[in-house]
Amino acid sequence: MYSIPRESPGAWGYVRCILLYATFTIPLAAAEILEIPYNPTWRQYVDSESQNLIAIGNAIDSLKDTISNECPIGDSDRTKAKYLRSLFFPYFTLESAEGKFTQAVKGARGGKYSMDDGNIMDIQGAGSQARGELLELQKYSAANLEEVEELYKGFEKYFKLTRDAVVNTIALGRSLSGLPGLTDPQVQQDWDILNNIAQRINFARTDDNGSILLDSDKTPQLFVKKLRDAYVFLENAEIDARKAAQWSLLHMIDPDLLSLIQGADLTYGAGSDTFTYGDLYKMIAEWFSCWQPEIANLIFAMENHLGQAPELGLFHS
């Protein structure tokens, strides 16, 4: 598999990545606007790069198929077959448990159940099964409050990392799914398909006279940089989820805590009496690993095939 040389983004990484996702198509302030005649100059560029653009388009299509079918996020298609492969399947199970755990800890601290957090169930309004889980966990929490506080602190640390990663992944998925490939149903002509790909990866746009406008500081190299940042983000999210799985397998093992995720018919009957928090985080880690090879292949296609735009010499030092 193609390897991505990179530096870990650190604490700034998640913030930087979500900002970059939004700029696959949104122009930033340009150092210089370069105008290229559409005919013949730009057309000749697309024609000369047609085989390379086909390779890039195939890589985009493969990535989009993975996003849509193999490892979907779960925010659009809730059919059973896809949802059980989605990121939302294990995440929402954890989110439900996090709400109940938070509610029980609050109850153990002060003897009251509050509605401070909108995703936390009020014990009076909960169903009988959920009410029983909350009451049992509150009893456990009250009897072992110091221990439970430490568990809760660790659980919240990893859950919040996962929640932030999920939010960023939704933005990333929408951005990547909008890239034009070879199978765009809105475009029928082969040349137009390749032209769309060429314009997107060059951050190009058309002016009122039909000329192609390029920003001098927006090149395919910048596009590749954004893909690299996306890859590093997913890799770090996978690492965090694997750390969460290891921690959970050691600490989140009390039956009262496991009862929050076991036996629940949360996703098409996929709840299981053998589910653990470690299992859920392993599923999340494997999901975050799923897009990485396809993004790496797209980077490889761009770095090893695409030539420079016409008469500019901007894209290769």
What is the spatial distance between Cα 70 and Cα 117, in angstroms, rounded to a whole number? 34
In a domain? residue 83: yes
Which residue in 65, 120, 312, 66 sits closest to 212, CA to CA?
312
Domain count, the chain: 1
Phi/psi at 206 (nearest 5 deg)? -110, 135
Q: Encode the chain (317 residues) as per-residue pLDDT tens digits.
A: 444 444 444 433 444 454 445 456 545 554 688 888 998 899 999 999 999 999 999 999 999 999 999 999 998 777 777 888 899 999 998 998 898 888 878 777 765 444 344 333 444 444 444 445 555 666 665 566 777 888 899 999 999 999 999 999 999 999 999 999 998 766 667 899 999 999 999 999 988 888 999 888 888 889 999 999 999 999 999 999 999 999 999 999 888 788 888 755 555 555 555 778 999 999 999 999 999 999 999 999 998 767 666 654 443 33
Alpha-carbon separation of residue 114 from 107, 111, 132, 159, 284 (angstroms): 8, 10, 17, 21, 30
In a domain? residue 252: yes
Cα distance between the two ends of the chain: 26
Handedness of CA 266, 267, 268, 274 (dihedral sign): negative
What is the spatial distance between Cα 6 and Cα 67, in angstroms, rounded to a whole number? 23
Which residue in 261, 103, 94, 252 sits closest to 165, CA to CA?
94
135 token code pair: 């009451």
What is the spatial distance between Cα 241 and Cα 169, in angstroms, rounded to a whole number? 14
CB atoms within 10 A of CB 6: 11
pTM check: above 0.85: no
What is the spatial distance between Cα 77 and Cα 73, in angstroms, rounded to a whole number? 9
State which residues form the domain around 164: 12-25+33-87+153-305
Which residue in 256, 271, 218, 247 sits closest to 89, CA to CA?
271
Q: Are strands 212-215 and 205-206 parallel, antiparallel or unpaired?
A: antiparallel
What is the spatial distance between Cα 258 and Cα 58, in angstroms, rounded to a whole number? 44
In a domain? residue 140: no
In a domain? residue 108: no
In a domain? residue 219: yes
CB atoms within 10 A of CB 38: 15
In a domain? residue 172: yes
B/e letters for 92-129, b = 16+ CB within 10 Å, e = fewer, are bbbbbbbbbbbbbbbbbeeeebeeeeeebbebeebeee
In a domain? residue 186: yes
In a domain? residue 95: no
